[in-house]
Amino acid sequence: MYDVIVIGAGPAGTSAAIYTARGNLKTLVIDKAPGTGALALTHKIANYPGVEGELTGKELLDKMNRQAKSFGAEFLQTTITAVDVEDEVKRIYTAHGTFEAKAVIVATGSKGRNRMLPGEERLLGRGVSTCATCDGAFYQGKHVAVIGDTEEALEEAMALTKFAGKITFIIPRGDLQGVDEMPELPNTEVMFRTRPLEIVGEQKVEGVRIRRPNGAEELLSVDGVFIFLSGSKPGTDFLEDQVPLDEEGYMILDEYMQSAVPGVFGAGEVRKTPVKQAVVAAADGAIAAMAADKYINKRSKIVPQYK
C-alpha cells in the first residue's frame, strides 16, 4: 500500500513526487516510457527558473528524478493495463503486478493524436500497431513501415530491426524530435520529409500511400505499420468511465487539481492548460501533491512546504 501513486514521470509527475515524498508520503511513480514525453524530447531549455545556462529536456528531467528519489520516491517503468480508482483504496494494474494507494495523481501528458491517418483506426490490431516490443515478433522477416517524428519512433524502429526483414522509416519532418544524429539502422530505408497519406488494406494492412518531398505519390507494399507520431491528445483513455473527462479527453479538475472522484488528482497536460510549458506542468504537480497530502491526512486546508 502506497500513500500516493503518480502515473507519469514528466515534469508534472516528477514534481508531484518531489512534494509527496518530501512530505513523508510513501510514493510510487509509474511510467511506461519516461524518455519519450514532450520534455524529454526537447533539444534545448534555457528558461526554466533556477537553472542557469542551457540543458536538454532529458537532463532537466534526470535532475528532477534524482531529487524525487533523494526524498524516497520509488520509480517503476511498466505498462498500466487497467485502473480501479472509484473506491477508497485505488488499484493500479500493471504488467508488474497490482499496486494500491490512498491517492492517485495522473500526469500522463499528451500521448495520443487528434487526427489519425485514413485506415489507421480500422486496421488497428490488424497490421497497425503502436508498440514494436509488443508486436514486433509477428513480423519476423517481413516488410514493415515505421511512421514517426520523435525519438520514440527511432527506438521502436531499432527494436523492429531484430525481427523485420525490411523497414521503411517514414519521417514527415526533416529530422526526429529529440535526436541529434540519426544512427545507421540495418535493413532500413529512411525517408525524411515524406508524408503518410493513407494505410491501405481490407481485412489487414497491405500498404501505405505516401507523398515524397517532390510531390510524387506512391503506394508502398508492407505487411505492417507501426505509428509513433507526436500529438496533443491527453493520455487519459485508461480513465474513461471512472473519472470525468471533457469532450476532448481532458480531466475536469478544480483549482487544487482535484477531480470529482475523491483521491484522484491530475497535473500537467491532462488538463486544459492555457500554455504548455514545463514550469506550468511542474507547478500543477506541486499543487496536486499538496492537495493529495490534504486528502490523505484529512486536513482542513493545504499545508505548503517552505523548508
Asked if residues 234 and 113 have their Cβ atoms less than 8 Å apart, the reply is: no
Catalytic option among 31, 84, 87, 131: 131
Catalytic option among 31, 135, 149, 284: 135
Asked if residues 203 and 196 have their Cβ atoms less than 8 Å apart, the reply is: no
DSSP lists the bridge partners of residue 218 as: 210
Note if 175 is an active site residue: no
Beta strands at 90-94 and 80-84: parallel, antiparallel or unpaired: antiparallel
Longest Cα separation, the chain: 65
Distance in angstroms (rounded) separating the CA atoms of residues 277 and 154: 24
Note if 84 is an active site residue: no
Distance in angstroms (rounded) separating the CA atoms of residues 146 and 299: 50
What phi and psi values does residue 161 have, to the nearest 5 degrees?
A: -60, -20
Residues in contact with 168: Cβ distance below 8 Å, sequence separation at least 6, in sequence order: 143, 144, 145, 146, 188, 189, 191, 208, 220, 222
Distance in angstroms (rounded) separating the CA atoms of residues 300 and 298: 7
Catalytic option among 84, 134, 237, 254: 134
Cell readout for 193 is: 520529409
Angle at 148 between CA 273 and CA 189, to 5 degrees: 165
Q: Bin 213: left if φ > 0, else alpha if -120 < ψ < 50, else beta.
A: alpha
Q: Where are the beta strands (DSSP E) in the chain?
A: 2-7, 27-31, 74-77, 80-84, 90-94, 97-106, 110-112, 128-129, 143-148, 166-171, 188-192, 195-200, 207-211, 217-221, 224-228, 233-234, 264-266
Q: Measuring CA to CA, which residue among 292, 304, 283, 284 is closest to residue 264?
A: 292
**What residues are labeled active site?**
131, 134-135
